[in-house]
Amino acid sequence: MKSVPQILTIQSHVVFGHAGNAAAVFPMQRLGVNVWPLNTVQFSNHTQYKQWTGQVLPPKQIFELAQGIEAIGELANCDAILSGYLGTAQQGREILQVVKHIKELNPKAIYLCDPVMGHPEKGCVVAPEVSEFLLKEAASAADYLTPNQLELDSFIGRHPTSLADCIEMAKSLLKYGPKAIMVKHLNYPEKQADSFEMLLVTEQETWHLQRPLLAFPKQPVGVGDLTSGIFLSCLLLGNSLLDAFEFCAAAVHEVLLETQKHGSYELELVATQDRIAHPRVKFAAKKL
């Protein structure tokens, strides 16, 4: 029997609500992967509440925790590393050391980097040195990179002029080394106002997906973390890139529908768990 895939997920944790690992771990487990959560920060709540308490994990503990897993003979069994929200750039450098070491132990292991950056428009608080680190160091170590539009714009240094331009911008990230770029959330002039759009690009193919844009009084947080976690889990469970792309769009849409129905600011992950595993909706990506 094929063993259950194991993912080391290195992101933030919030005590209340859902962002970072607190958004990704349960859905990944619900899909059937073993999750090893390593928390880069432990905050009371996500940063878009504008106030929080808590602490950033001292960077060297990241490698030490991986060494602890190696000491019990388990690190080579890690199939993938997922990284997201970082408290400091130094934490990011430690993560890259861990990625390198795991790949030495298990050359088949893959690394998905969700380049979570801060942005005044979004309100997510991330130090500027972290964005710098993601651009200059992390992108070239990643097998998969999953920016949203703001993060794609930061990588390239400009805003897109059209969908074709978004594609070109995403494709140009492939030259850093990733096998695929998934843009979790597109924004460009003349985008249809009622659609939420995503993009998947590889050297060979480009896929574009549209799902309904839902109205929220306040945009829910942790959606990107949920998207990346589900995408990576699907890949490890043996799905193709395209199937993983379509599945994560559907599962995340189910969560957002339920969140909207409850009128909650935090994602309704527990209430949606069955539909995360078996979404009722399907959005077919279009090949461009």
Ligand X SMILES: Nc1ncnc2c1ncn2[C@@H]1O[C@H](COP(=O)(O)OP(=O)(O)O)[C@@H](O)[C@H]1O
Ligand Y SMILES: Cc1ncc(COP(=O)(O)O)c(C=O)c1O
Binding residues: 12, 47-48, 114, 151, 184, 211-214, 225
Binding status of residue 275 toward ligand X by CB under 6 A:
no
x-marked contacts with ligand Y along 83-102 as a string, rule CB under 6 A: --x-----------------
Binding status of residue 19 toward Mg ion by CB under 5 A:
no
Among 207, 194, 170, 227, residue whose Cα is nearest residue 285:
207
State which of positions 168-207 bind ligand X (CB under 6 A).
184-185, 196
State which of positions 57-116 bind ligand X (CB under 6 A).
none
Instruction: Please select the residue that binds ligand Y; options are 33, 116, 139, 198, rule is CB under 6 A.
Output: 116
Question: Which of ligand X, ligand Y, Mg ion, none does residue 85 bind to, with CB < 5 to 8 Å depending on kind?
Answer: ligand Y
Choices 1-9, 90-98, 222-230, 239-247 (CB under 5 A): range interacting with Mg ion: 222-230
The single residue listed with the structure tokens 């999750």 is: 35
Binding status of residue 5 toward ligand Y by CB under 6 A:
no
State which of positions 201-230 bind ligand Y (CB under 6 A).
221-225
What is the sign, positive or negative, of the torsion defined by CA atoms of 182, 187, 189, 193?
Answer: positive
Question: Which of ligand X, Mg ion, ligand Y, none does residue 178 bind to, with CB < 5 to 8 Å depending on kind?
Answer: none
State which of positions 70-129 bind Mg ion (CB under 5 A).
116
Binding status of residue 21 toward ligand X by CB under 6 A:
no
Binding status of residue 279 toward ligand Y by CB under 6 A:
no
List all residues 6 or more positions away from 209 whose beta carbon is below 8 Å from its beta carbon.
Answer: 197, 198, 199, 200, 245, 246, 249, 283, 284, 285, 286
Single-letter amino acid, residue 24: A
Binding status of residue 223 toward ligand X by CB under 6 A:
yes
Binding status of residue 224 toward Mg ion by CB under 5 A:
yes
Binding status of residue 213 toward ligand X by CB under 6 A:
yes
List all residues 6 or more positions away from 157 whose beta carbon is below 8 Å from its beta carbon.
Answer: none
Binding-site entries for ATP: 114, 151, 184, 211-214
For 182, phi and psi rounded to 5 degrees? Answer: -110, 115
Binding status of residue 233 toward ligand Y by CB under 6 A:
no
Q: Token pair of 112, please? A: 């998905």
Residues that contact Mg ion, how many (by CB under 5 A)? 2
x-marked contacts with ligand Y along 7-46 as a string, rule CB under 6 A: -----x-x----xx----------------------x--x
Binding region for ligand X (CB under 6 A): 148, 184-185, 196, 211, 213-214, 219-220, 223-224, 227, 253, 256
Binding region for Mg ion (CB under 5 A): 116, 224
